[in-house]
Amino acid sequence: MRRYSAPFLFLLPATLLIALFFVAPVVTTLYLSLTDLSTITFRHPRWIGLGNYASLLRDPFIGKILVNTAHYVGFTLLFNVGMGLLLALLSSSVRERYGNQIRAVWLLPRILPPVVYVVIWQGLSREAPYGLISDLAGTTRNWITARPWDVIILANGLVGASFGMLLFTAAIRAIPPDLFYASAVDGATTVQTVRRVVLPLLRWPILFVTAYQTLSLLTSFEYILLLTNGGPGFYTTTVWSLHAYQLALSNYFGNVQFGLGAAMAALLVVIGVVVTSFYLRLFNFRALVGEPKVEVN
């Protein structure tokens, strides 16, 4: 028994934190999702078993919201990872001084508070003569309501790309220069070097960025909330997490349904787990955590 006391002691703080801030909320959410807790029933919530889940199944709009979620996560992810990769490659292929500056500029939207960032977008996308985009495009329209998805994906992607950019840059820097010399000696073009040398060595950070961003996009809705609040019109840009938020915490008339919102949140966890296991298979996670094939000193 004493043999285990030291490891146990070291694991204790982290275990406590995880239990308190991860396991407990999950259990609470699951419990709430089995009750009819709402504004009206707050004092006396009733146990309704799987009633909320059944209600979600019967909701004719859930399909549309799922499709919206896939659309949002998919396209934003493509932009995030693709743009992050492109920026990392470009900024590490120029002189370090310029590379650093490019990266610094791309970090600006990330350090802006989301509300300020969205206000800038709203200003840019108004009708002429108020909006810059209308002025440049020569057609006056409100671009947020005219092209809601494009604006949402761009606004999200411009912030999100900097995350991949930083990680990929660090990973590219960690590639031993010998490999670049070797490929140059073999007569490889830049594209070939990127494709055959850099990208294979970036699999691990790409997996990480993709999985991490997917999970955070599934649960993030602040830019959609601020830009369109799920509109314009009929559930046009309502995603799963926004819908859960609107059910559980936000209603014009103050009637919120915590139970139903909790059920949606619980289902989101399931979706997250499924998607992550898919990624692990896709990127062959076992091989990634095996013995490294490149020696780094």
Partner 1 sequence: MKLSSRIMATVAAILALVLPPVQAQQRITTIKAWTIGPDAPSVTRFSNLQAAAERLNAGLRREGVQYQIKVEGSFDTTNWDQFLRRVLLAFQGGDPPDIVQASAALSTTWAAAGFLAPLDDYVPKYKPFSDIVPALWTSVKYKGKTWGIPQDTEARPLYFNKVLLKKLGWTDQQIADLPKRIASGTFIWDDVMAVAKDARQKNIVEPGKGYYHRPFNGPDFMQWYRSFGGRDYDAQTGKLVFNKAAALRYYRWLRAGVDAGIIERDRINNDWNRFHQPITDGDGKVLFWSGGTWNWAEWSQQWVAARGGEAWLFDHFGYAPHPAYVKGGKPITLSNPQAYMVAAASKNKDVAIRLLADTMVPDLDAKHAIGSGHLPVLNRTVALVNNRFLKEVSYLLTYTTFQPPHPDLPKWQDAFFRGVSAVESGSATPEQAVDVVSGEMQRTLSDQVTVE
Q: Which residues bind partner 1 (CB under 8 A)?
A: 39-43, 55, 58-60, 122, 142, 144-146, 228-229, 231-236, 249-256
Look up tokens 């031993």; give the residue: 176
> Between residues 134 and 214, which has the closer beta carbon with respect to partner 1?
134
> Is the Cβ–Cβ distance between 122 and 184 less than 8 Å?
no
Nearer to partner 1 by Cβ, of 141 and 203: the residue is 141
Rounded Cα–Cα distance for residues 71 and 167 (Å): 25
Tokens standing for 230? 């799920």
Distance in angstroms (rounded) separating the CA atoms of residues 51 and 14: 36
Instruction: Compare residues 231 and 272 and give the one whose CB is closer to partner 1.
Output: 231
**Helix orientation angle between 62-93 and 148-173, rounded to the nearest 10 degrees:** 40
Could you tell me the smallest distance in angstroms from the CB atom of residue 152 to partner 1? 13
Q: How far is the CB of 229 from partner 1 (least distance, A)?
A: 5
Residue 4 vs 234, nearer CB to partner 1: 234
CA distance 140 to 66: 32
Q: How far is the CB of 125 from partner 1 (least distance, A)?
A: 11
CB of 38 to partner 1, least distance (A): 9
Which of 109/131 has CB closer to partner 1? 131
72 close to 152: Cβ distance less than 8 angstroms: yes
Q: How many residues are present in the chain?
A: 297
Q: What tokens does 79 get? A: 């932009």
Could you tell me the smallest distance in angstroms from the CB atom of residue 8 to partner 1?
37
Rounded Cα gap, residues 220 and 210, in angstroms: 15
What does 230-252 look like in DSSP terms, one character per residue?
T-SSSSTT--HHHHHHHHHH--T
Closer residue to partner 1 (CB): 211 or 247? 247
Minimal distance, residue 149 CB to partner 1, in Å = 13
